[in-house]
Chains A and B, each alone.
Chain A
Amino acid sequence: MAKELLKGNEAIAEAAIRAGCQAYFGYPITPQTELLEHMAKRMPELGRAFVQAESEVAAINMCYGAACTGVRVMTSSSSPGVSLMQEGLSYIAGSEVPVVLVDVMRGGPGLGNIAPSQSDYNQIVKFGGHGDFKMIVLAPATVQEAIDLTAEAFDLAEKHRHIAVVLLDGNIGQMMEPAELPPMRPLPTAIPDWALSGNDGGPRNVITSIHLQPEELERFNQKLQAKIERIRAEEVRYREYMLDGAELIVVAYGTAGRVAQSAVKMAQQQGIPVGLLRPISLFPFPEDRISQLADEARGFLVVEMSAGQMLDDVRLAVAGQAPVRFYGRMGGMVPLPEEILAEIVKLDQATAQSSAYHMKEQAQRTESR
């Protein structure tokens, strides 16, 4: 297939259809609405389920119901709508049915605005409703990546019987870029043995998230945690840019990662030894790779379109081995490469001044060899 000029939201919708999405439930909200509109047109054409729900609460619970039948289901929304979905997400995680959620982030808090933002990181990566669990979170930086990660989200949701989120900011949802869609996958002919089917011929199935006995609920939670650990071990994804010989590490995802890449290139041209780590899976977070980089790095710069939410995860991974600085824009503002470059220069200068510490460390390492 050839590349076409595709809008992020529409590309995600079509990618979901081609990945075998058989039911979509959603509610209009900017900057996500084109995704719902594409589904409204295409799903009925293909004889698949589409419902414009009365709220995001209803949409996620429709997904919950449809997912119980074992088919691939998806919903999409934007930040305030995703806040309303937290209840359903918790029940879905507690029932272990696969669902894909696309969150096209906008500025908050409250009604905020419809401009691109990354301030849902905590809501998506850390929360997902009450209870002990984390969702799989994939963050694209381009329209092509949004297409690829949407298909992957369905595979991961099914593999782990869990929620997989495609987390992007409104910028990627609204942007048009040349990208290539995958071919249409054939729909599966069989349903999983745990799915609700009307009990035709087999033993009956019940899907529930209630375990009244504490011993039983603890056992369920232990099983859930084992799954989360498996996801942590198996599903880490990230991209590296100019990390060879880099002493300074920029960490940024999505649109911020893309802008940071330009800034890193500019800094390299000025002779600053800087590289970029762009996390793609936000959960599981590439903590091992960051920790490894922290062994040698002079310092880190985290760039986000938020007040610093992923920053906490970077700090945990760096674990005090190197200074971590932060640059963020909020309220729908997107940083310019020049702004990030200025921060890289500051980090370079700050860590060069305090490099006595670093050189001492280096010397110690050399000695110990």
Chain B
Amino acid sequence: MIVEDTLNVPQHEELAEELVYRRPATLTSLHTHYCPGCTHGVAHRLIAEVLEELGLQNKTIGVAPVGCAVFAYNYFNCDFAEAAHGRAPAMATGIKRVLPDRVVFTYQGDGDLAAIGTAEIIHAAARGENITVIFINNAIYGMTGGQMAPTTLPGMKTTSTPAGRDVELTGFPIRMAELLARLDGTSYAVRRSLHNPAEIRKAKKAIRAAFETQLQGRGFSIVELLSACPVNWNMKPIEALKWIETNMLPAFPTGDYKVLN
């Protein structure tokens, strides 16, 4: 189910106004299936812009997760593989080891990366696997309809913690950027947020730095992105963005947890 992309950029001379905004060639023209107010689309766009700016469209292989972004390969206009739940870092390892001169990235959610795929992400980082990981943390399982994630906040209501996450029974959220930064194989581990334009611009810079880390052969890079899931949070899109700021940021502070030069 791939929609072939025909990018129709109008000729510059014919325009009265200057072209200031267009879809990058690294995105297909397909409309995404994401819910209104979901920030997956923003994250996709940032990655696509970075791939285009770095001239990587024809040398990049992406690995999609299981979760809401399972169909990410429909939207990124490059070679893609779709992994089993949590196994994207292992799959990316296999690809990168055979094709070390290609750029390989995974795109994973919190259930995928921080629950079922914990072993795979930790060991990919520990090996210093020269891949880039984009980690979407929205504190919930989106695709299955709003169950507790390993990043669900204490007290947060989900369909599997209907009375709110009780840390006595279900433990505590995992801060993956900090955790992975502690490993010697990690060269770049940062957390950014997608809740306002200023943070989105910072997120793009981080994504660019992560891909540059890989291009320079410096090993494992990860950008964690705080993201909104208005439907499963049971909020309006704008409320959801505010909720990131007021509730997620204190638990998951943005910052550079490891930046090796």
Which residues of A approach B to under 8 Å, CB–CB?
22-23, 25, 49, 51, 53-55, 57-59, 61-69, 71, 73, 87-88, 91, 95, 196-201, 203-210
Instruction: Report how far A73 CA is from B90 CA in the complex, Å.
Output: 14
Which residues of B approach A to under 8 Å, CB–CB?
2, 4, 57-61, 63-64, 70-71, 73, 77-84, 87, 90-95, 97-99, 102-103, 119-120, 122-123, 127
Instruction: Report how far A206 CA is from B70 CA in the complex, Å.
Output: 12
The chain A residue with its CB closest to the CB of B120 is A58
Q: Is the CB of B80 within 8 A of A207?
A: yes
Contacts of A71 in B (CB 8 A): 98
Q: A61-B87, A65-B63, A208-B73 are in contact. Are A23 and B58 (CB under 8 A)?
A: no
Q: Is the CB of B90 within 8 A of A196?
A: no
Q: Is the CB of A208 within 8 A of B94?
A: no
- From A73, A204, A209, give the contact of B79 (CB < 8 A): A204
Closest 9 CB pairs of A and B: A65-B94, A65-B91, A66-B94, A61-B90, A208-B82, A62-B94, A54-B123, A49-B97, A61-B87
- From B70, B79, B91, B99, give the contact of A64 (CB < 8 A): B91
Instruction: Report how far A213 CA is from B165 CA in the complex, Å.
Output: 35
B109 → chain A, closest Cβ, in Å? Answer: 15
Q: Is the CB of A88 within 8 A of B97?
A: no
The chain B residue with its CB closest to the CB of A59 is B90
Q: A198-B58, A206-B73 are in contact. Are A49 and B98 (CB under 8 A)?
A: yes
Contacts of A205 in B (CB 8 A): 79-80
- From A54, A91, A207, give the contact of B84 (CB < 8 A): A91
Instruction: Report how far A87 CA is from B66 CA in the complex, Å.
Output: 14
Instruction: Report how far A54 CA is from B79 CA in the complex, Å.
Output: 26
Q: Is the CB of B94 within 8 A of A63?
A: yes
The chain B residue with its CB closest to the CB of A196 is B79
B123 → chain A, closest Cβ, in Å? Answer: 4
Q: Is the CB of B123 within 8 A of A209?
A: no
- Identify which of A62, A69, A91 gathers the most chain B CB atoms within 10 Å of its CB: A62
Contacts of B70 in A (CB 8 A): 210
Q: Is the CB of A206 within 8 A of B83?
A: no
Q: Is the CB of A54 within 8 A of B119?
A: yes
- From B61, B87, B120, give the contact of A196 (CB < 8 A): B61
Q: Is the CB of B97 within 8 A of A198?
A: no
- Identify which of B81, B103, B119, B123 gathers the most chain A CB atoms within 10 Å of its CB: B81
B38 → chain A, closest Cβ, in Å? Answer: 18
Q: Is the CB of A87 within 8 A of B94?
A: no
Instruction: Report how far A57 CA is from B132 CA in the complex, Å.
Output: 21
The chain B residue with its CB closest to the CB of A199 is B79
- From B78, B83, B103, give the contact of A204 (CB < 8 A): B78
Q: Is the CB of B79 within 8 A of A53?
A: no
- From B2, B58, B83, give the contact of A61 (CB < 8 A): B83
Q: A61-B90, A208-B81 are in contact. Are A69 and B123 (CB under 8 A)?
A: no
- From B4, B60, B123, give the contact of A58 (CB < 8 A): B123
